[in-house]
Amino acid sequence: MSVRVRVVLTGILLVLSLLFALFAARATVSAFQSFQQERQQGDVQTIRPWMTIPYISHVYQVPENYLYDALHLSSARPSRRTTLQELAIRVHRPVGTVIHTVQASILLYRREHNQDHPRTLSRSGVRGGETT
């Protein structure tokens, strides 16, 4: 191949690589923004077994004591680093049950304290069936 053909091919590959990198960066930024939006809204469906009570308390803005009480752990508090998975093992319950209890207690706390944290936000920006 001539030098000119090599330069052209290299240029085309470089442009394609840059386009791919831009596409990947845009997808990454979009995914991060989506995650941040869910976190700010406090969607309880995002609670996972690796999370700890202090972390959940901070992210979902619910007092730790409230969550420990909901799990009936007020008298024997686990370490602050204990995950929901470890708590489930400790209390001999499925982790899904523990997560559901935490989710329900967060929603109940919000209702009791009149906090406006929707569970979902539609693409149109309308919350929970409201119309604008």
Write the pLDDT tens digit of every residue in 62-111: 999 999 999 998 667 788 899 999 999 999 999 999 999 999 999 999 88
pLDDT bin (cut points 50, 70, 90) of residue 41 is low
pLDDT bin (cut points 50, 70, 90) of residue 1 is confident
Q: How far apart are CA 35 and CA 99, in angstroms?
A: 19
pLDDT at 35 over 80: no
Mean pLDDT over each residue of the chain, to the nearest integer:
83
pLDDT at 7 over 80: yes
Give residue 130's pLDDT. 41
pLDDT at 34 over 50: yes
pLDDT in tens, 15-24: 999 999 999 9
Contact, 42 vs 119, CB < 8 A?
Answer: no
Q: Which two tokens stand for residue 67?
A: 């969550």
Contact, 54 vs 63, CB < 8 A?
Answer: no
pLDDT at 118 over 80: no
Average pLDDT estimate for 3-16: 94
pLDDT at 131 over 50: no
- Burial of 22-48, coded b for 16+ CB within 10 Å and e otherwise, reads eeeeeeeeeeeeeeeeeeeebbbeebe
pTM of the model: 0.57
